Structure 1
């Protein structure tokens, strides 16, 4: 189910793009929204179509401003989104390609919180490949996956929170890493920080609900 607010915003940006196809801000925003909305779509064909269009918008934005943080971020985001709906080889390729765009985004703007968040997800994914994926990644990309670690994922999320302390998604992702690593004090502390945030959107309210349930289950 896609939120009405996102659908309305996407329609607005795509209307702008119909009139001005090279509007940089609209390209970045439309790409981001299509990636975010695609996560909530259950039909695989529709989700792939959303991600494909997101990647197209990102590529157009990148062609306009290849050194800008936002263009590099949406390139990385759309590559990651497409990777998740692709076969094993394409998935690893897409995840690997994300890194150079994230590095470029943060070189352009070291305070780009969403890029730090996505870098955390990249690190966590690459650090926790299964055996077959790890072997394939080393054969295809050399030692790129060896650069990734759970600690780097934690540090990247902490940096994202530093630059945007009101985004509950960052806290939720950080708590999930702490949970997987069985760092219980950090896990519960992060959940408590998340629950102290003011949330308004449906997505934020859902993440807050999930944080509350996890904390209650742990404290039983």
Structure 2
């Protein structure tokens, strides 16, 4: 009997040693290794691989807060690049699901609130007019909460700038609908507030070309030529490597050339 027990234990150990990582990811060490690898992939812009790894963590540890927040952000980022509407919506639905679960776990943390705001904004852009306005309006409270938790959160400042810009430039029908259904909160938003928010985002993350491009768009709307050209020149001076960054750099150059004609 003792001999059989020893053999059984030996076989069990062999089975665990040969098991895939996802089987043992529930252990603290396994989860931390996966999270570290996923973060490295994300920093190197290998978004699909990073998302797969965060989702692997969530299979073993469904309430892992870091994985939920990062998976939500990556679904938004990947979804934005997709051209097929159905696929895009599927990514955004998943982003909202992960963000909601993270928010339930830690409703006062900046990352959960930022993930909620980002996923709401993403879904709003692929929704009908009323649903779009509802999503955009809902974003504000989550952005305020994110910045109350961490007032140096560059992503939250950038998204707040986008929120101000969108709400400040609603067309007549959108403005009327916003006042009718949501109390006219868009009246608080101005292009100046949008510019200030995105400037703050750049202050805390000066290497993100998306921030400069969006700030230039705000200045263009404000007809502030000097500020717009200065911002575009700063954007073009950045070192960019990814396809998305290179495309933004190309757009910045085109916009700058238009001003210099």
Alignment partner of 1:120 is 2:161? yes
- Higher relative CO (CA 8 A, sep ≥ 6), structure 1 or 2? 1
Q: Deviations over 1:100-149 (max 9, x none)?
A: 00000000000000000000010011111111110110111113111111
**Please, which runs of 5 or more residues in structure 1 have no aligned partner?**
none
In structure 2, distance between residues paired with 1:218 and 1:144: 34
SS at match of 2:70: helix
Question: What is residue 148 of structure 1 aligned with on the other side?
Answer: 189
Question: What is residue 37 of structure 2 aligned with on the other side?
Answer: none
Q: Deviations over 1:185-214 (max 9, x none)?
A: 111100011111111222112111211222
Deviation at 1:52, TM superposition (A): 0.3
In structure 2, distance between residues paired with 1:55 and 1:61: 10
- Structure 1 residue ranges (4+ consecutive) displaced by more than 2 angstroms after TM superposition: none
Q: Work out which of the residue numbers 54, 70, 92 in structure 1 matches 2:95.
A: 54
Q: Work out which of the residue numbers 22, 27, 30 in structure 1 matches 2:71.
A: 30
TM-score under structure 1 length normalisation: 0.96
SS at match of 1:166: coil
In structure 2, distance between residues paired with 1:104 and 1:144: 17
TM-score under structure 2 length normalisation: 0.81
Deviation at 1:4, TM superposition (A): 7.5
Structural RMSD (CA): 1.3
SS at match of 1:129: coil
Q: 2:232, 2:256 within 8 Å by CA — same for their partners in 1?
A: yes
Question: What is residue 89 of structure 1 aligned with on the other side?
Answer: 130
Deviation at 1:158, TM superposition (A): 0.5
Alignment partner of 1:136 is 2:177? yes
